[in-house]
């Protein structure tokens, strides 16, 4: 086989065979195919797309390009979740202990945030001592003993995706639905997941700005699940990311909101979001014949939040990973920046827009996010967004509280927030939490 034949086929919009895709991915991973040929293929895929079976083949070739975690000795149908990323998205911190408290083992690898989307690992590192660097053996042992582990990537998972993603980043080929779908799914499959709940965000603060694009991405990822047969089961939920999720945006402050939610409190919309994602994870775990639909009800999940079982599970994970459980027992011990600035409503009005992306940028300006990979973040700064789109507010009512240090770049943050929020004299419809759920046929 020759790389040029494969590139030419895709350039001419002809479908690639399974063996062509496997060959290209294998030789690119080994370093036998140079970046310029891989770039040409990526651009041809970007321009001409991929069929459903090509997308499945690419997913499996990427998943098989390195180590694959085998969770079969922990559970015969491991479930995982993935969010396409957003502002204030601390869902994993609640959903994973919640389903683990229901008896579903969870072994998840997460990432760090880049730009205005926060990463789960950064939020967890607000806990003094919490260790996200586990070896594959430690990762599996904790999943076995605690039923819950949340760590950074362990082992050499989907290395072809890592190489190709870096190349896509510099060749303007990131925004291709088959490339995004295969990239996300390959990492989940290599991580040992058989049931996967995808939280595909749409709106101003999301990767997929339009509902149509989010739906297309969700559909192709669910199709990958269908093509994977009984070894793979995928549900995609399309959720709103026009405004931030919940109230807290930052790291320690998001962790605090997650802990409030695990205690049965937290913003009602965020709690509802978590229950729905957890329910779909339970349903997939059930399709592996471990939990029945009756056991996976929203009521049962709500009970785990209200009776402290989900919080206890989270605490067990913190202890197992070397974190200080005192902050779980008393979240006021989390270090939150001491200076508070309040942005208030200028007039009696309705909240018309809280642009998630711009709120994320405002938080990043304070130091809560990373404009580039190597920048250190400040876990203690962040924002509390007190209102939702559609809410009626009175003059002087707090819209956002900024948690900063005396020397933080607060003026820049205030300017960004003022541009992010619109008030209107006319009534405004609230935004939905969810737009659609797409499941295998």
Report the phi/psi class of residue 43: left, alpha or beta, with left for phi > 0 and alpha for psi in -120 to 50.
alpha
**Toward ligand URA, which CB reaches closer, 165 or 435?**
165
- Contacts of 34 by beta carbon, 8 Å cutoff, 6+ apart: none
The CB-nearest residue to ligand URA is 183
Query: Does 41 participate in binding ligand URA (rule CB under 6 A)?
Result: no
Residues 117-156, mask of contacts with ligand URA (x by CB under 6 A):
----------------------------------------
Query: Does 184 participate in binding ligand URA (rule CB under 6 A)?
Result: yes
Residue that is written with structure tokens 């978590």 in the block: 274
Task: Determine whether 90 is an active site residue.
Answer: no
Rounded Cα gap, residues 267 and 402, in angstroms: 18
Task: Determine whether 110 is an active site residue.
Answer: no
Query: Does 220 participate in binding ligand URA (rule CB under 6 A)?
Result: no
Restricting to residues 156-175, name those near ligand URA by CB under 6 A: 165
Rounded Cα gap, residues 273 and 266, in angstroms: 11
Distance of CA 78 to the CA centre of its chain: 18
CB of 347 to ligand URA, least distance (A): 40
Task: Determine whether 379 is an active site residue.
Answer: no
- Piece of 176-184, 213-221, 366-374, 421-429 that binds ligand URA (CB under 6 A): 176-184
Helix, strand, coil percentages in the chain from 3-state DSSP, rounded to 5: 45, 15, 35
CB of 166 to ligand URA, least distance (A): 11
**Residue from the set 43, 87, 124, 180 that interacts with ligand URA by CB under 6 A:** 180
Task: Determine whether 409 is an active site residue.
Answer: no
**Residue from the set 183, 235, 239, 247 that interacts with ligand URA by CB under 6 A:** 183
Question: 102: helix, coil or strand?
Answer: coil
Query: Does 25 participate in binding ligand URA (rule CB under 6 A)?
Result: no
Query: Does 236 participate in binding ligand URA (rule CB under 6 A)?
Result: no
Structure tokens at 294: 């009756």
Quick check: 285 and 99 in contact, CB under 8 A? yes
- Contacts of 50 by beta carbon, 8 Å cutoff, 6+ apart: 15, 16, 58, 178
Rounded Cα gap, residues 405 and 409, in angstroms: 9
Task: Determine whether 280 is an active site residue.
Answer: no
Quick check: 232 and 222 in contact, CB under 8 A? no
CB of 165 to ligand URA, least distance (A): 6
Q: Looking at the annotation, which residues are catalytic?
A: 82, 161, 168, 183, 187
Q: Which residue ranges make up the site for ligand URA (CB under 6 A)?
A: 165, 179-180, 183-184
């Amino acid at each position: 086989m020759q790389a040029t034949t494969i590139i030419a086929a895709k350039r001419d919009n002809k479908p690639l065979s399974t063996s062509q895709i496997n060959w290209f991915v294998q030789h690119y991973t080994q370093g036998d195919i140079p970046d310029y040929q891989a770039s040409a293929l990526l651009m041809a895929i970007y321009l001409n797309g991929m069929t459903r079976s090509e997308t499945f083949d690419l997913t499996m070739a990427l998943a098989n390009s390195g180590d694959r975690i085998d969770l079969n000795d922990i559970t015969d149908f491991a479930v995982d979740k993935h969010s396409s990323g957003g502002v204030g998205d601390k869902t994993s911190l609640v959903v994973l202990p919640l389903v683990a408290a229901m008896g579903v083992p969870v072994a998840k690898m997460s990432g760090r945030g880049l730009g205005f989307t926060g990463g789960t690992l950064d939020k967890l590192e607000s806990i003094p001592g919490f260790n996200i660097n586990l070896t594959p053996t430690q990762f599996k042992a904790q999943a076995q003993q605690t039923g819950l582990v949340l760590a950074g990537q362990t082992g050499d998972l989907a290395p072809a995706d890592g190489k190709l993603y870096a190349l896509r980043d510099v060749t303007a080929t990131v925004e291709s639905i088959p490339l995004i779908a295969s990239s996300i799914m390959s990492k989940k499959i290599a991580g040992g997941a058989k049931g996967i709940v995808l939280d595909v965000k749409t709106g101003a603060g999301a990767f997929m700005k339009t509902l149509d694009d989010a739906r297309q991405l969700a559909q192709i990822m669910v199709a990958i699940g269908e093509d994977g047969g009984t070894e793979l089961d995928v549900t995609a939920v399309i959720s709103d990311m026009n405004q931030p999720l919940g109230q807290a945006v930052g790291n320690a402050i998001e962790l605090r909101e997650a802990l409030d939610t695990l205690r049965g409190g937290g913003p009602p919309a965020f709690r509802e979001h978590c229950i729905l994602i957890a329910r779909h994870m339970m349903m997939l775990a059930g399709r592996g014949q471990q939990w029945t639909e009756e056991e996976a009800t929203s009521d049962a999940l709500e009970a785990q939040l209200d009776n402290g079982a989900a919080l206890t599970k989270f605490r067990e994970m913190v202890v197992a990973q070397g974190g200080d459980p005192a902050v779980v027992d008393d979240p006021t011990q989390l270090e939150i920046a001491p200076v508070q600035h309040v942005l208030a409503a200028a007039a009696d009005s309705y909240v018309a827009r809280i642009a998630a992306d711009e709120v994320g940028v405002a938080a990043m300006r304070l130091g809560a996010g990373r404009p580039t990979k190597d920048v250190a973040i400040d876990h203690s700064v962040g924002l509390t967004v007190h209102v939702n789109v559609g809410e009626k507010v009175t003059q002087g009512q707090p819209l956002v509280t900024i948690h900063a240090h005396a020397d933080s770049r607060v003026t820049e943050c205030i300017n960004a927030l003022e541009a992010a929020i619109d008030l209107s004299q006319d009534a405004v419809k609230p935004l939905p939490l969810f737009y659609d759920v797409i499941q295998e046929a």
